[in-house]
Each structure stands twice: as C-alpha cells, then as structure tokens.
C-alpha cells in the first residue's frame, strides 16, 4: 500500500474534493440545468400542442368557408335557373297571347269581309232585280212594277242560285 | 490522403527531426526510471499535508470544473447560447446515457454518476496536456543526501557550497532532462552515493487519476453510495443480499448453506468492486503516462499514435467508471432480497 502511494491524508483530500465538487455542481449545474431542460421540454410540448390546435382550427374554418362558398354557389345557380324558367314561361305566355290576338284580328277581319260581301250580294241582287224588271218593262211595254213580277224575278234568281257561286 | 504531398513532407520532416535529436542527444530510457513513480512525489508541504503534483492538478481540475459550472449557469436563459449551450448538451447527453443504464432511477444517481464522469474526464485530460508530466524538477530524498536545499537537488560548487538555481529546474523535454540528470548522476557517483535510488523527476502537473488515491476515493464513494441507495430502496432487507441466513435458520441446511455461500461471494465481490474500480482507472492512466514517456525517450515521433490512443482511453475510463457506478446502483436498488424468499418465489 505504501509503495502504491495510498496515503490517508491524500485519500481524504480526494474524498473532500469529490464531495465539494459534487455539492457545487449539484447546486450550480445539475439542478438548474435539469430544471431548465424540463421546463423547455414542457414548453416545446405546449407549443406543439398549441400549433396542432391552431392548425386544426384553421382546417375547420377552411372547411366551413368552403361549405359556405358551395352554398352560395349553389344558391346562385338555382336562382339563375329559376329565373330562366320564369323568363321562358313569360315568353311562352306573351307568344300565346300575341298569337291569340292575331287570330282574333284575323277572325274579326274575316267576319267583316263576309258581312260586307253578303251586303254586296244582297245589294247586287236588288239591283239585278231592278234592272231585269226595267228591261222586261221595256220589252213588254207595261208596268211590271208590282209585287207579283218582283216575286217572279226573285224566284228566278233563287233558281240560278247566284249566291251559291259567290259563296254564302 | 496518401496522395497529399504536404503530409509526406511533414512525416519525413518529423522523422528527420527525430533522427537528428537521436544523434545529438543519445538519451536512454534509463532516465525514465527516475521520472516514473507509482507513489506521487511530494513537491512541498502545507502544514503537515504533503502536496503532490496530482494534488496540485486536482486543485486545477476543481478550479476548471467549478469555473465552467459557474460561467455556464450564471445567466440561465430559455434560449441557451455559448457556454450554457455546451453545458446543457453535456448534461443532456449524460441524462440520456444514465437513463438508458439506470432506468427510471437515474435522477437519484445522477449527481454521483455525473460528477464522477466530469471529474475523471477532466483529470484524465489535464494529464494529457503537453507539459503535464514532463515539466518539473529533480528531487532527491533528503534522508540519504546532504547536498540539498529545500528538498531540491543542488548541482553545487563543491568549494562555495552554493546552489545554482539553473541546475534545479529541469524542463523534462528529453535532452535537457537527460543532461541534467546525467550531470547529477555523475556527481553523485563521484561522491560514492548511488544517486538513482534517491533522485526523482517531479513534474509540476500530473493526471490526478494516475495517483491511486483519487480512483480509490471515487471507488469508495461509488461502492458506499451503492449500499446507501440499496438500503434506501429495500430497507434492512438489502443486507440479505450478503448475509442470507433465512433458510439456514428455518432448518433447510443444504439450501441454507448455499445461500450463505452465495451471500459471502456477493460480499467479497462487492468489496472487490472497490479494488477493480481503483485499479482499472489508475492502471489505465498511469500506464498511459509511462507509455507516452518511454515513447518520447525512444524516438521523437513515436508518442503521436500513443497520444491519440491515450486521448481515447481518457474518455473511455471516465465513461466506464460512471456507467459501471450507475449499473451497480441499479442492480442494488432492483435486486429482490438476493436469494431470499422473494427470489425463491419467483423461480
């Protein structure tokens, strides 16, 4: 032991030195640094959690926003479609009305024409009767202006059916 | 690497320097004998306390460690920088290491294991600083030698009896040391005194771990605290690990004797942990010192690879000491009664 240099005073000095360093390092380094490491770890954990939360929130908001946008788009689309349908209906209505009106006008015009023609035909008939009677008077030289001769011409005309050829 | 001409030039130049030194200063390894001492030499005494190079270096280690601790943790900030960052990295690495070895109990052992690691690694590396172990002076034991002053050799003038201070301090860079030592040796021979035995080269700084007291102190702390933690965890039952008379007292002679024997082996191995701890660290560092010294005396280039090796050994020894301490502490706190009833029930 002596040859190896084992010596109680040196050994004690080394022991005291070790204990002193241990105590100083424990106070100065181990406790504060380990605390610091733990706090930092916790803080990073919290930060990460917070970031995750924010990310999730943002995603949620994004989804919400997209949904709203979709809704608006769909609504606009449906509004436009319904407007188109209404416009088409209106067009049809207007068209139908116009056609009806035109038909009416046409019919009215035809009625008037008929009436006028009938009028003309009856007038023509009167004149034909008058002329034929006049002609006959000249031929026979007598006054045929009585009811009987007039009836005769009338009947003749009816037989010829003058009106039938010109339309009723 | 081999194609690098600069490297070749450097190697050739170093070899040339080595050869030149060898030719002009043909020193022998004989001188190493004077400079290698297992027991550290005393430089001076404070009161009755002898101060050795290893003690001096230990004080330096203390100053460096505490200074580093103080500077690195003076202003603790959430976002670390500089020294704080370095210290936190070291602590974090150690936490990872000891957690992997000691498991969930690591925090309990951390102060001891981390301090052992830091102390040993600082001690080992201080011993590797160029100049440590090689700058010092010659000292002669005062009992047999009369021509000494203040415990140091005097290459004195025989007539005037005055010491020449230039002869006292020796730079242990090889040639100067050899010259001085041979001078001294010759003068002693002339006087009919066998000088070698009493002369010693005393370096100013020397790795504290190459002084057996330092590893021994750490080993004592390590083993003692292992018992303390074991007792804290298991109470008095911890001691059944070494003294298990339980089954013998119950009348089970055969197994009881086995238990007692196992406990005895455990006890011896526990005591020898002190020895193995001590000599593992001491042996490695001391041998490293001697190797570096001998290589330096053999040839100028030789210490280089060994220096690299010692650099590695210095770390490994610190690592091993701390890791083994953590492992033993874990075993002591985890063991179930050491061959007692719980151990029996488990099988």
At residue B162, φ and ψ (nearest 5 deg) are: -105, 135
Tell me, yes or no, whether B164 and B256 share the same domain.
Answer: no
Tell me, yes or no, whether B268 and B300 share the same domain.
Answer: yes
Q: What angle do CA B224, B315, B86 make, to 5 degrees?
A: 95
Quickly count: other Cβ atoms within 10 Å of residue B188's Cβ: 20
Residue ending a domain, choose from B183, B203, B223? B203
**CB B114 to CB A2 under 8 A?**
no
Coil, strand or helix at B149: strand
Residue A2 contacts B where some CB pair is shorter than 8 Å: yes
More confident residue, B50 or A115: A115
A29-52 tens-digit pLDDT: 888 888 888 898 999 999 999 999
- Distance of alpha carbon B151 from alpha carbon B140, whole angstroms: 7
- Distance of alpha carbon A55 from alpha carbon A73, whole angstroms: 27
Nearest CA in chain A to B74: A28
Chain B residue numbers touching A13 (CB-CB < 8 A): 49, 55, 58, 213
> Where in the sequence is the domain holding B233, given as residue range(s)?
115-128+209-346
Residue A32 contacts B where some CB pair is shorter than 8 Å: yes
Tell me, yes or no, whether B299 and B173 share the same domain.
Answer: no
* Per-residue confidence in pLDDT tens, chain B, 347 aa: 567 888 888 888 878 887 887 777 655 555 565 566 677 777 777 777 888 888 888 999 999 999 999 888 888 777 777 888 888 889 999 999 999 988 888 888 899 999 999 999 999 999 888 777 767 666 654 443 444 444 444 444 444 444 443 334 444 444 455 555 566 666 666 766 554 444 566 777 888 888 889 999 999 999 999 999 999 888 888 888 888 887 888 877 888 888 889 999 999 999 999 999 999 999 999 898 888 877 877 776 777 888 899 999 999 999 999 999 999 999 888 865 444 444 333 33
Residue B316: inside a domain, yes or no? yes
Chain B residue numbers touching A15 (CB-CB < 8 A): 217, 220-221
Residue B13: inside a domain, yes or no? no
Tell me, yes or no, whether B150 and B187 share the same domain.
Answer: yes
Residue B76 contacts A where some CB pair is shorter than 8 Å: yes
Please enumerate in sequence order all residues whose Cβ is within 8 A of that of B220, keeping only pairs 6 or more positions apart, or say none: A15, B274
Chain B residue numbers touching A8 (CB-CB < 8 A): none
Tell me, yes or no, whether B254 and B299 share the same domain.
Answer: yes
For residue B127, the distance in angstroms to the closest alpha carbon of chain A comes to 16
Residue B34 pLDDT:
56
| Contact of A10 with B49, CB cutoff 8 Å | no
- Distance of alpha carbon B245 from alpha carbon B263, whole angstroms: 9
Q: Which run of H or of E encompasses B7?
A: helix B5-24
Please enumerate in sequence order all residues whose Cβ is within 8 A of that of B242, keeping only pairs 6 or more positions apart, or say none: B263, B264, B266, B267, B270, B338
What is the mean pLDDT of the segment spanning A58-67?
Answer: 95
Tell me, yes or no, whether B217 and B185 share the same domain.
Answer: no
Sign of torsion, CA B243 B244 B249 B252? negative
- Distance of alpha carbon B56 from alpha carbon B292, whole angstroms: 21
Residue B258 pLDDT:
87
Residue B1 pLDDT:
54
Core vs surface per residue A29-44: b (16+ CB within 10 A) or e: bbebbbebeeeeeeee
Residue B68: inside a domain, yes or no? no
Residue A147 pLDDT:
78
For residue B150, the distance in angstroms to the closest alpha carbon of chain A comes to 22
Q: Which two tokens stand for residue A127?
A: 């004149």
**Which residues make beta-bridge pairs with B170?**
B136
Residue B31 pLDDT:
56
Tell me, yes or no, whether B233 and B265 share the same domain.
Answer: yes
Least confident of A58-67, A116-125, B27-36: B27-36
What single DSSP character describes residue B247? H
Q: What is the ipTM for the molecules in this complex? A: 0.77
Least confident of A62-71, A104-113, A138-147, B117-126: A138-147
For residue A57, the distance in angstroms to the closest alpha carbon of chain B comes to 28
Tell me, yes or no, whether B40 and B145 share the same domain.
Answer: yes
pLDDT score of A98 more than 70: yes
Residue ending a domain, choose from B182, B203, B224? B203
Q: Which of residues 205-244 of B touch A (CB under 8 A)?
A: 208, 211-214, 216-218, 220-221
Chain A residue numbers touching B85 (CB-CB < 8 A): none
- DSSP, residue by residue, A64-94: HHHHHHHHHHHHHHHHHHHHHHHHHHHHHHH
Tell me, yes or no, whether B227 and B339 share the same domain.
Answer: yes
Nearest CA in chain A to B65: A21
**CB A14 to CB B95 under 8 A?**
no
- Distance of alpha carbon B215 from alpha carbon A11, whole angstroms: 9
Tell me, yes or no, whether B157 and B224 share the same domain.
Answer: no
Domain count within chain B: 2
- CB-closest option in B40, B54, B119 to A21: B119
| Contact of B61 with B208, CB cutoff 8 Å | yes
More confident residue, B129 or A168: B129
Nearest CA in chain B to A23: B111
Residue B41 pLDDT:
74
Residue B15: inside a domain, yes or no? no
For residue B284, the distance in angstroms to the closest alpha carbon of chain A comes to 15
| Contact of B285 with B125, CB cutoff 8 Å | no
pLDDT score of A53 more than 80: yes
Residue B195: inside a domain, yes or no? yes
Residue B50 contacts A where some CB pair is shorter than 8 Å: yes
Residue B189: inside a domain, yes or no? yes
Q: Which of residues 8-37 of B touch A (CB under 8 A)?
A: 37
Tell me, yes or no, whether B253 and B181 share the same domain.
Answer: no
B49-51 vs B199-203, strand pairing mode = unpaired
- CB-closest option in A6, A17, A32 to B212: A6
Residue ending a domain, choose from B203, B228, B261? B203
Residue B1: inside a domain, yes or no? no
Tell me, yes or no, whether B213 and B170 share the same domain.
Answer: no
Q: Name the one residue in this structure whose structure tokens are 């080269």.
A: B201
Residue B250: inside a domain, yes or no? yes
């Amino acid at each position: 032991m002596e040859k190896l240099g084992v010596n109680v005073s040196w050994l004690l000095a080394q022991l005291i030195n070790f204990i002193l360093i241990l105590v100083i390092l424990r106070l100065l380094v181990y406790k504060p640094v380990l605390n610091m490491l733990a706090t930092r770890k916790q803080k990073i954990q919290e930060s990460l959690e917070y970031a995750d939360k924010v990310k999730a929130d943002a995603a949620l908001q994004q989804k919400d926003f997209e949904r709203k946008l979709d809704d608006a788009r769909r609504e606009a689309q449906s509004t436009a479609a319904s407007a188109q349908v209404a416009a088409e209906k209106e067009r049809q209505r207007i068209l139908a009305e116009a056609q009806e009106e035109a038909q009416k006008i046409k019919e009215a015009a035809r009625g008037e024409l008929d009436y006028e023609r009938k009028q003309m035909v009856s007038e023509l008939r009167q004149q034909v009767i008058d002329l034929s009677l006049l002609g006959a008077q000249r031929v026979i030289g007598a006054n045929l202006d009585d009811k009987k001769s007039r009836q005769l011409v009338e009947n003749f005309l009816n037989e010829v059916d003058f009106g039938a050829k010109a339309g009723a | 690497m081999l194609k690098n001409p600069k490297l070749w030039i450097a190697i050739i130049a170093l070899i040339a320097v080595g050869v030149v030194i060898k030719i002009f200063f043909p020193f022998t390894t004989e001188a190493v004998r004077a400079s290698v001492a297992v027991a550290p030499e005393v430089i001076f005494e404070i009161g009755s306390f002898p101060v050795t190079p290893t003690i001096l270096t230990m004080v330096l280690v203390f100053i460096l460690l505490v200074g580093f601790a103080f500077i690195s943790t003076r202003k603790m900030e959430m976002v670390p920088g500089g020294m704080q960052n370095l210290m936190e990295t070291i602590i974090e690495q150690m936490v990872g290491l000891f957690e992997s070895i000691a498991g969930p109990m690591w925090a309990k052992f951390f102060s001891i294991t981390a301090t052992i690691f830091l102390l040993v690694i600082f001690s080992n590396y201080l011993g590797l600083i160029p100049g440590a172990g090689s700058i010092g002076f010659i000292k002669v034991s005062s009992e047999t030698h009369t021509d000494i002053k203040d415990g140091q050799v005097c290459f004195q003038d025989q007539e005037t009896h005055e010491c020449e201070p230039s002869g006292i301090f020796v730079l242990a860079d090889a040639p100067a040391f050899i010259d001085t030592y041979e001078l001294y040796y010759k003068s002693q021979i002339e006087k009919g005194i066998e000088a070698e035995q009493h002369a010693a080269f005393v370096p100013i700084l020397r790795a504290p771990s190459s002084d057996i007291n330092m590893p021994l102190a750490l080993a004592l702390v390590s083993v003692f605290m292992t018992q303390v933690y074991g007792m804290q965890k298991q109470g008095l039952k911890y001691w059944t690990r070494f003294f298990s008379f339980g089954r013998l007292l119950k009348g089970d002679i055969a197994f009881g004797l086995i238990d007692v024997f196992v406990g005895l082996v455990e006890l011896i191995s526990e005591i020898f942990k002190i020895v193995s701890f001590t000599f593992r660290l001491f042996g490695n560092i001391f041998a490293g010192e001697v190797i570096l010294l001998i290589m330096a005396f053999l040839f100028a280039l030789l210490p280089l690879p060994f220096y690299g090796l010692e650099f590695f050994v210095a770390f490994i020894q610190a690592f091993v000491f701390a890791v083994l301490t953590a492992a033993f502490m874990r075993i002591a706190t985890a063991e179930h009664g050491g061959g007692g009833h719980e151990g029996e029930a488990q099988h």
